[in-house]
Amino acid sequence: MELDERKIKILKAIIQNYLETGEPVGSRTISKGFDLQLSPATIRNEMADLEEMGYIVQPHTSAGRIPSDKGYRFYVDQLMEEKEQEAEELKELMIKRVDRVELLLKQMAQILAKNTNYAAMISGPQYHLTKLKFIQLSKVDYNKLLAVIVVEGNIIKNTMIDVQDELSDEELLNLNIMLNSSLNGLTIEEINLQMITKLKEQAGIHSGVVDRVLEKVAESIRADQEDLQIYTSGATNIFKYPELSDGENASKLISTLEEKKLLKDLVADAAQSSDNTGIQVYIGDEAPVQTMKDCSIVTAQYELGGGLHGTIGIIGPKRMDYEKVLATLKTLITQLDTAFHKEE
């Protein structure tokens, strides 16, 4: 007797229902609760076959069925295979997407610098409030788990978690279901102390695992924010303006544009300070970066959909052509939006 597609669907339905309720599952429950388009009689016959094959058992005469260890093993293996395939597909998609966006942003920075004769910068895309989409815990060794964390935009983070006591397949499956049902769609800011306490209570003796998973989730998101890429072009354009080409000040300004560390402060400030048009103008001492106090900086926010955003900036003298710069930024944002979504 083979485990065909129909039997697999019924077995999955039985296990999912049992995991949610803890009660033995009957054919009528499966017929009503799952869109299998099968009659209770057909489901009963298939359940009888599944029982004969050892995937489900009947705890006592009049009850429904519950998964056997063999059934749990099949379910976990199937789940892990599906998620691994899904994660691999998402990873390949994201690599292509990131490469394309990176090339596009570098080209945009060069165009900006050339068209304005000022220095230009563009930050790589980030998320305003990164939401969790999926967490998958898999056993690597008796005291090690692999956590696959998928966040908004299908960004995938893999991290290892040490555990003191070995988890059974059923315990690991229940942890996965609990974490995903509770955390899916939430930002780190929304995972508060009350929720953490509740999750740890539900996890029982494995509350420490929940703690470590949440720590790794937070670390993954913060690392993504710290790894912000910034592309610059036209740094030498500042030498065209006498007020900026003074030896020491020019050297510091060039270093800021080339090393890019301080530009992260500018990106962070611009994201928080921009008005409803996404435009922010800093003049002289208003600049959040000390080495740019003799400059004017005009920034704009671009959006790539799904909460993905970044900052475009033009750095020049205080006597810059503001009208041209503002018009150029608005045009560029429109072109960036069109170029990105054309390939979506």
78-120 pLDDT, tens digit per residue, is 877 776 666 566 556 555 555 667 777 888 889 889 989 999 9
Q: Do 115 and 241 sit in the same domain of this protein?
A: yes
Buried b or exposed e, range 189-204, using 16+ CB within 10 angstroms: eebeeeeeeebbeebe
Inside any domain, residue 78: no
Q: Do 171 and 260 sit in the same domain of this protein?
A: no
Q: How many residues does the chain have?
A: 344
Q: What is the pLDDT of residues 199-232, one digit of tens each?
A: 888 888 888 888 888 887 777 666 555 567 889 9
Is residue 282 scored above 80 in pLDDT? yes
Dist CA 152 CA 174 (whole Å): 23
Q: Do 240 and 116 sit in the same domain of this protein?
A: yes
Number of domains in the chain: 3
Q: Do 254 and 281 sit in the same domain of this protein?
A: yes
Q: Which residue has the tokens 């040490």?
A: 162
> What CATH code is carried by the domain that includes residue 234?
3.30.450.40
Q: What percent of the chain has pLDDT over 70?
A: 82
Is residue 60 scored above 70 in pLDDT? yes
Q: Coil, strand, or helix at residue 314?
A: strand
Considering the chain, what is the average pLDDT of its residues?
80
Q: Which residue has the tokens 């898999």?
A: 138
Dist CA 238 CA 108 (whole Å): 19
Inside any domain, residue 268: yes
Domain end among 226, 250, 273: 226
> What CATH code is carried by the domain that includes residue 174?
3.30.390.60
Query: What is the residue range of 170's domain?
Result: 129-226
Inside any domain, residue 89: no
Q: Do 138 and 241 sit in the same domain of this protein?
A: no
- What is the pLDDT averaged over residues 286-302? 88
Q: Do 213 and 247 sit in the same domain of this protein?
A: no
Inside any domain, residue 261: yes
Q: Do 180 and 267 sit in the same domain of this protein?
A: no
Dist CA 128 CA 189 (whole Å): 11
Give me the pLDDT at residue 322, please. Answer: 92
Q: Do 120 and 177 sit in the same domain of this protein?
A: no
Q: Hey, what amino acid is at 5?
A: E
- What is the pLDDT averaged over residues 57-78? 82
Token duo for residue 247 = 């030896």
**In terms of pTM, does the model score above 0.75?**
no
Q: Do 232 and 336 sit in the same domain of this protein?
A: yes
Q: Do 140 and 280 sit in the same domain of this protein?
A: no
> What CATH code is carried by the domain that includes residue 35?
1.10.10.10
Q: Do 252 and 234 sit in the same domain of this protein?
A: yes
Domain end among 205, 226, 247: 226
Inside any domain, residue 337: yes
Q: Do 151 and 211 sit in the same domain of this protein?
A: yes
